[in-house]
Structure 1
Amino acid sequence: MQDEIELKTEQLKYIIATLQTKQNKIILLILHRFDALENITEGDTFLPNKSNGKIETQFTDFVGKTSFGMSIFNLSNAILGSGILGLAYAMANTGIILFVLLLTSMAILSAYSIHLLLKSAGVVGIRAYEQLGNRAFGRPGKILAASIITLNNIGGKIKYIINFISYSQRQKDMTTDKANYWFVDGRYLIIIISVLVILPLALMKRLGYLGYTSGFSLSCMVFFLISVIYKKFVTECPEEHTKLITINPQVRNTAFTIPIIAFAFVCHPEVLPIYTELKNPSKKRMQKVANISILTMFVMYLVTAIFGYLTFYGNVKSELLEMYSKKDTLMLCVRLAVLIAVTLTVPVVLFPIRRAVLQLLFPDKPFHWVRHISIAVCLLFLVNLLVIFVPNIRDIFGFIGATSAPSLIFILPGIFYICIVPEEQEPLKSRPKIQAIAFVTLGFIFMIMSITFIIIEWVTGKKTSGGH
């Protein structure tokens, strides 16, 4: 009897010891992940999930349901900007060979930048640009990242809306002769479109819901691309030979085009939100989304530039659509398609702005519809107010874009990667870290170039093609 009691006592001690060991492991795991938990984004909580012997971090407040294809549509729509209309002009200033080299380099660098973002996010289990800044530099880093995203994307929205007003005004001039109908005035029309189209789409709770409108926006730009190709074969060409490479007597004109191409693939504020909502998310899967989106936009950019340039050669203007006849029915439809595409891009751009505002003002608050709607309404009201009543707002945000765009593409992803990836995993002198340092340096070079060119524009009064 005594032996049986001792045996049961030993078994009980063993069970208790086993439980304590497991408890200690759980505590260590919690401590290991504590830094991710303290930097958690709004509405995001994490649980450890064992997969293939590795502990992965996953969201538990909702499961990503956006398909692979819809994610590609959203990211492609975020990349695609009205800057596509200026690429033929850029090719005219650089020549075909140099343009192709620059565009290819920028596409590769943009994909590498997204790789740095995803790698940094994977290390700490964070899928928010602002929280990566918090992880790297504390609250100042979070404020810096959120501010840059807000200014860059508001600037992007302003450029889209200004282009909308500009194109709609041209449509009015083409279709109404001397009539002056208020409902086709660009300023009134953008308010109507903002209330009836942009605002309802911006009120969507998830970015993934915009996949259908992003797909339609891209189809409008495909129509634009097909029309540009068609017009090449039916338009009488100027008597000018193709320039494979241009040594422009005004070197400044060639240099001006480099920032245009450099910022043609800006989409980085949208990458992590799209990653968060991706179905069956993984770094590899999201990198594929990014690579396919960048490749798709690369092809569209390249084909548009080549056929636009080969149609008008050195006579091409900074906005390609200005080169076509105002009485051409096909190009009238193309202008309308571009208007629709620009309109449907705005809600996608708005999502990262709202998230940045939430991170700055309400970092610990759960999702609430009143807050969600109020921020969207205030942002649209502010942007429309600036566009209508501040005549030089394009120049102001052009200067902001010269600093924010290289920061989002080159500087911040590289710095986050250097600071967040542990030195035990990758020492500072390792090849990946050295590449990241070079990447950051390149970003500062582009920033200095862009600011210099904008100052030259202000001093000389010479305007050049817009960017993204």
Structure 2
Amino acid sequence: MEPPCGSVNTEQGWYVSAQQPEEAAAEESSPLLSNELHRQGSPGVSFGFSVFNLMNAIMGSGILGLAFVMANTGILGFSFLLLIVALLASYSVHLLLSMCVQTGGGGRHHNNSEYWRSWYLNGQTLLTIICIAIVFPLALLPKIGFLGYTSSLSFFFMVFFALVVIIKKWFIPCPLPLNFTEEYFQISNATDDCKPKLFHFSKESAYAIPTMAFSFLCHTSILPIYCELQSPSKKRMQNVTNTAIALSFLIYFISALFGYLTFYDKVESELLQGYSKYLPHDLIVMTVKLCILFAVLLTVPLIHFPARKALMMVFFSNFPFSWIRHCLVTLALNIIIVLLAIYVPDIRNVFGVVGSSTSTCLIFVFPGLFYLKLSREDFLSQKKLGACVLLVFGILVGSFSLALIILDWINK
């Protein structure tokens, strides 16, 4: 069976169909991308590896800031907001997949001695070494499917992090120690500090939804994962998305809950800083720091894939594929990532600004806006009304949160 009418850009490797939306909708029974996969002679990536890849795209450094969010919204407030963001993220992917079916988008990608005793404790040095030795080679891979192996490893690192957060809840006393030495703890008498709050709002609550949106951002990786999925179809990819978001939600909630119940209102904007303060020489804490470092950095090659492809499409779409150009663009993007990781002083600022601007646009605004523009359904149809709600919600929440964050900076 010949592929549907369309064209293949050999530089970018994306298959673009010229089908009409009605014809593309009929491809649900004969998946949109199966012909292209067959033409490439590849069975595609399994459902499990696709879930791991999408979870790797979802779960990153955002997990470190959610306990801080819970401290500033309360347990029930946090649970409600996290559930809403997760559901909206899943729905926005549903709209993206619907547009993919209607427009026919899809396809595959072608082809001193004291210093040296303590280097592994230096975060910047360790970050640079791992990026050169692991992240950069993985980012060079031309296909996203192989990253399923590293994504599964990243998933288990995140599970290990959540388990350590649960266990260490029983090793740090409450009220928290005011001063720590190797000889003694000086304990505060403020027992009210150990009472969890169901609802709580403060100026720091402005970081709540942006941080959650940042934590569930995976939309840039949806199409590459969909294109390499085994037996690709809208329904199958939606199941991948729902599974990945549900598992991510569970790990996020558990780690945030027990992180909050450990430090309460004293939780740091980056959860691991609290463990460094009160358990500075704990071997398990050091191990989980290393695991989180690996987990977050293993996310980089996955999210790097669509970023590199976007740059290639914008600047080099009329040129044939070149490994030299491929490597240089990969190197440039990795250098930018390392510099940001080293020199951004507070991760909360990243969650706040990126979450309220880029993340809300990618999760809420753009899927809703594009669906309203591209879909030929009646305006009062269920999906178009949902797209309107998504668009308005994204604009209002993103603008309001960003304004509050900027005011918070000005006041400080």
What TM-score comes out, normalization by structure 2 length? 0.82
Q: CA deviation at 1:406?
A: 1.1
Partner of 1:86: 65
CA distance in 2, matches of 1:41, 1:449: 41
CA distance in 2, matches of 1:295, 1:460: 38
CA distance in 2, matches of 1:186, 1:421: 48
1:331 matched to 2:310: no
Shift of the 417–73 alpha-carbon distance from structure 1 to 2, 3 Å rule, reads same
Partner of 1:68: 47
Partner of 1:372: 326
Q: Specify which of 282, 290, 313 is matched with residue 264 of structure 2.
A: 313
Q: CA deviation at 1:296?
A: 0.4
Shift of the 326–230 alpha-carbon distance from structure 1 to 2, 3 Å rule, reads same
1:419 matched to 2:373: yes
Say which is worse superposed, 61-70 or 110-119, in terms of deviation. 61-70
CA distance in 1, matches of 2:323, 2:121: 33
* AA at the equivalent of 1:408: L
Say which is worse superposed, 100-109 or 229-238, in terms of deviation. 229-238
Q: What SS class does the counterpart of residue 233 from structure 1 fall into?
A: coil
Q: What SS class does the counterpart of residue 327 from structure 1 fall into?
A: coil
* 8 Å Cα contact 1:96-1:245 kept in structure 2: yes
* AA at the equivalent of 2:69: A
Say which is worse superposed, 293-302 or 190-199, in terms of deviation. 190-199
Shift of the 180–430 alpha-carbon distance from structure 1 to 2, 3 Å rule, reads same
* AA at the equivalent of 1:71: S
CA distance in 1, matches of 2:310, 2:151: 22
* 8 Å Cα contact 2:161-2:292 kept in structure 1: yes
* 8 Å Cα contact 1:68-1:289 kept in structure 2: yes
Q: Specify which of 224, 242, 246 is matched with residue 199 of structure 2.
A: 246
Q: Specify which of 152, 156, 163 is matched with residue 226 of structure 1.
A: 163
* 8 Å Cα contact 2:10-2:321 kept in structure 1: no
* 8 Å Cα contact 1:64-1:281 kept in structure 2: no
CA RMSD for the aligned pairs?
Answer: 3.2
Partner of 1:361: 315
* 8 Å Cα contact 1:214-1:345 kept in structure 2: yes
Partner of 1:292: 243
5 Å-filtered alignment, 1:29-40, equals 37=7
**CA deviation map 1:247-266 (0-9, x unaligned):** 44xx3123332322233211
Partner of 1:9: none
Q: Specify which of 405, 409, 417 is matched with residue 363 of structure 2.
A: 409
Partner of 1:208: 145
Q: CA deviation at 1:41?
A: 8.3
* 8 Å Cα contact 1:78-1:270 kept in structure 2: yes
1:101 matched to 2:80: yes
Shift of the 188–85 alpha-carbon distance from structure 1 to 2, 3 Å rule, reads closer
Structure 1, unmatched stretches of 5+, are: 1-25, 129-175, 462-468
Q: What SS class does the counterpart of residue 170 from structure 2 fall into?
A: helix
* Structure showing the higher helix proportion among its residues: 1
CA distance in 1, matches of 2:162, 2:224: 29
Q: What SS class does the counterpart of residue 207 from structure 1 fall into?
A: coil
CA distance in 2, matches of 1:259, 1:404: 9
CA distance in 1, matches of 2:105, 2:117: 53
Q: What SS class does the counterpart of residue 191 from structure 1 fall into?
A: helix
What TM-score comes out, normalization by structure 1 length? 0.72
5 Å-filtered alignment, 1:341-352, equals 341-352=295-306
**CA deviation map 1:91-138 (0-9, x unaligned):** 11111111111111111000000000000010011038xxxxxxxxxx
Q: CA deviation at 1:395?
A: 5.5
1:44 matched to 2:23: no
Q: What SS class does the counterpart of residue 216 from structure 2 fall into?
A: coil
Shift of the 53–430 alpha-carbon distance from structure 1 to 2, 3 Å rule, reads closer
1:262 matched to 2:213: yes
Shift of the 120–183 alpha-carbon distance from structure 1 to 2, 3 Å rule, reads same
Q: What SS class does the counterpart of residue 281 from structure 1 fall into?
A: coil
Shift of the 396–293 alpha-carbon distance from structure 1 to 2, 3 Å rule, reads closer
**CA deviation map 1:6-64 (0-9, x unaligned):** xxxxxxxxxxxxxxxxxxxx9xx98xx5xx64999822346889989967543535346
* 8 Å Cα contact 1:114-1:268 kept in structure 2: yes
* AA at the equivalent of 2:148: G
Partner of 1:283: 234
Structure 2, unmatched stretches of 5+, are: 108-113, 176-190
Say which is worse superposed, 49-58 or 196-205, in terms of deviation. 49-58
